[in-house]
Amino acid sequence: MKSLVMGIVLLYSCQYASADITFVLKNQQSKMNQQTITYAIKGHQLKFTESNSDRVNLFDQKTQQFLTFDPKSAKRDMINDDVLQKRVNQLNQQRLQKLAQVEQNLNAKLKTMTAQEQEVGESLINLLKYPEYYGEHTQLLVKPTDQQKQISAINCQVFQLFKNKQRLKEFCLADPGAMKMSPQEYQTLRSFYAFDYKVLTQLMLAMGKSDFTVIDYEEQKIPGVVIETISYDNATITQHLQLTDLKRETLEASEFTFTKAQTAN
């Protein structure tokens, strides 16, 4: 990853250092109510908003801190590694308490169970006790394809996500140079991808849930910027997010901070 970023530095640092970047992904599925997600990046800070939510969400790549603010309720929430670990510990404790009851009930029924029922019961216990090793996510498989697309005049490479041979998602990732992203902007976005994956998966696994369909782009060695995501339910497309707008213009620093009134607990 470091060599990739260094290459981008050499190629693009002089050309795109004068402005910030904003890009929009729009859900192409619903023509009546097209959901949009807007990403704005200024240096090491990222802001994203969704058209169906009033929340403003800020991520700081340097501090690895995520802030979300709801202007209607004036409620602010913050996530960093410490906050995440505390919540994961709480959820793990709750899960293990439930597991103890499940194990007790299972042991009481073992004598009357068939061998097949016992095997199913043990599988359930393993799933609840060790979701990171036995969960549904362990069946996920990412497959690169030879397919290239052009989304909003930007070329991208297609990857597909499968579970038990069933296609769940299709991703198209663009080179940051094609997006005219600076090295820092790209690093900020990729850091946000990793942070988002870590928070979602750790919380779900702590609850004993593992049916998520997000992937770790770093672990999968998939570079680039996601400019299209298609989600499937069998052959039916359930969501189709696609890049529709890309701007390079200076963004005010105030857009990446909350006022004292906003951040008050």
32 pLDDT tier (thresholds 50, 70, 90): low
Confidence of residue 31 (pLDDT cuts 50, 70, 90): low
Distance CA 194, CA 34 (A): 27
Q: What would the mean pLDDT of 246-264 be, rounded to a whole number?
A: 76
Of residues 114 and 262, more confidently modeled: 114
Which pLDDT value is given to residue 96? Answer: 87
**205 CB-contact burial (10 Å; exposed 0-12 / middle 13-18 / buried 19+):** buried
Mean pLDDT (whole number) for 256-264: 56
Dihedral pair phi/psi, residue 141, rounded to 5°: -140, 125
Task: Answer whether 173's CB lies under 8 Å from 224's CB.
Answer: yes
Per-residue pLDDT tens digits for 172-226: 999 999 999 999 999 999 999 999 999 999 999 999 899 999 999 999 999 999 9
Q: What DSSP assignment string belongs to 135-159?
A: SGGGGEEEEEEEEEEEETTEEEEEE
Is the pLDDT at 155 greater than 50? The verdict is: yes
Q: What is the pLDDT of residue 128?
A: 76
Phi, psi of 194 (to 5 degrees): -65, -40
Q: Which residue stretches of the chain are H helix? A: 2-12, 81-109, 115-129, 131-134, 183-206, 260-263
The confidence score (pLDDT) of residue 122 equals: 73
Whole-prediction pTM:
0.83
Domains and CATH numbers, the chain: 2-82+135-256 (2.50.20.10)
CA dist 122 and 116 (Å) reads 10
Q: What is the pLDDT of residues 54-95, one digit of tens each?
A: 899 999 999 999 999 988 888 899 999 999 999 999 999 998
From 86, 76, 60, select the one nearest 203 (Cα to Cα). Answer: 86
Greater confidence, 117 or 26? 26
Residue 108 clears pLDDT 90, i.e. is over it: no
33: enclosing H helix or E strand: none
